[in-house]
A and B are shown apart, each in its own frame.
Chain A
Amino acid sequence: MVLTEVDLTVHRGEIVTLIGPNGAGKSTLVKVVLGLVRPSAGKVSLQAGIRMGYMPQGLLVEPFMPMSVKRFLQLAGNTNKKELQKVVAELMIEHLQSSPIQAISGGELQRVLLARALLCKPDLLVLDEPVQGVDVTGQQELYKLIMHIRDTHDCGILMVSHDLHLVMAGTDSVICLNKHVCCSGHPATVRLHPEFLSLFGGEPERLALYEHKHNHKHDLGGGVCR
């Protein structure tokens, strides 16, 4: 039994973030919502005819399969050229379309995956660790994009994250999960909840910002120039 006593509601125009330590059952819960895993008890009630967009945790396309970014996006099905170009422009990946999907960077791949999920015209967008493997600047950009999607696409967003601080800024509701729902609510309330503190308490103090200056610069190839 991975999960017990889970109660979860996502409204349109709302970002719900699932947080929790490794092995808390975040991905399992997401798979239950998506219908990939059947719950042993309990019920998932979805609005009839609801369309879901899914952004999986990472993607590895074997090098022996030739696949451009554009062809990958077309696999979403039922997409016409206009819609595709609109989504591609929205996520700023126009320049990547003819690149092999194996050759793009981590941050670019996340945006491509997000585009694929949007092409399904989802009512509910499920994002499993959308900023995984992306540097801090890239993370902020991705979060900005996700918030923009919430505001413009009229869909609910369920997001999994193990980052507790960057997420909270944009999120409407947080669910803190560890085999069961420890606490949930608005980010500000969750932050002060005793169960949250016992799970993650004290962590911020252990992290510090490292301020430093470089005495050199890098050119585009990575070489050092002074």
Chain B
Amino acid sequence: MPLDFIARAMVAGVGIALVSGPLGSIMVWRRMANFGDALAHSTLLGLCFALLLNIHVYIGLVSICIVVASFLALFSRRQHLANDTILCMLAYTTLALGLILATVLPGIRVDLLGYLYGDILAVNPQDLIWIYSVDAIVLLTLCKIWRSVLSMTVHEDLAKVEGVSVARIQWILIVLMAIVFAVAMKLIGILLITALLIIPASTARQIAKTPEQMAIIASLVGAISVCLGIGISSHWDWPAGPAIVVVNMGMFILSTIFARVAAKSIA
């Protein structure tokens, strides 16, 4: 029996939530929220290039993320400007270029609205295969580099002395983020994608005692809010992506209250 489209949307959303838990936690620890946003903004350019060069969309998206990250690494060696300034410039320049390409180039028609907000209810079975393959690759890689990531986040020099190749792990993280963004883009859109990574991790922080707990709780919270969000959106006819983000924020607020009450009852 084929899954109907709401169930399929939930399966897809849970697939994204599984990876966004640990990856979002890493972004929270390493202050990468702005960086994630910049990558997300640049993906429109990647999409246009992919259509222009007739290559697979995902390849276009991932390579543009890597280009942006390299530019950031290049620029941030000059210390005249803060990293978030450079990120902002890169993000909006690439977005602007993407918007120009999307309108000017002949033969390219990009559904801008769908791209900005995503459409999780339009997920097809092939998307599901993509999402869960990416899940497998990203989660396996994260397991492998997990200790190194934690170690270099706590103290980079100490990690280096203990044999962690910090630069390599940083690149791996960027590629993983790019891959996740590429598959999540269709579901949730560039404007909202970073929220899906950052908010569940922040909710998990209120409860977690170890980094691993935080990653797992973030995945659970993400999965629950995706399902609730899709449920709400189909019931009241809200747009699905925004509904998911609002539910996520609601859960964050609840967790804050819960943490306060728990702290008080201990004291």
Contacts and interface: CB of A to CB of B under 8 A. Distances in A.
Interface of A: 31, 34-36, 52-54, 56, 59, 61-62, 64-68, 71-72, 75-77, 100, 116, 120, 126
Contacts of B208: 66
Given A53-B161, A68-B209, A71-B210, 18 more contacts: A34-B157, A35-B160, A36-B157, A54-B157, A54-B162, A59-B155, A61-B154, A64-B29, A65-B28, A65-B154, A66-B209, A67-B211, A71-B211, A75-B147, A75-B151, A75-B154, A77-B163, A116-B158
A221 to B, nearest CB: 14
Given A34-B161, A35-B161, A77-B162, A66 B210 contact: yes
Contacts, number: 60
Contacts of A59: 154-155, 158
Contacts of B160: 34-36
A116 B154 CA distance: 13
Nearest to A53: B161
Interface of B: 28-29, 147, 150-151, 153-155, 157-158, 160-163, 205, 208-211, 213-214
A56 B211 contact: no
Given A62-B29, A75-B147, A77-B147, A67 B154 contact: yes
B19 to A, nearest CB: 19
Secondary structure class of chain A's binding surface, majority of residues: loop
Q: Which of A31, A36, A54, A65 has the most CB of B within 10 A?
A: A65
A67 B160 CA distance: 19
Given A75-B147, A75-B154, A66 B205 contact: yes
A65 B161 contact: no
A34 to B, nearest CB: 5
Nearest to B214: A66
Contact of B213 (A34, A54, A66, A77): A66
A67 B154 CA distance: 9
Contacts of B213: 66
B28 A64 contact: yes
Contacts of A62: 29
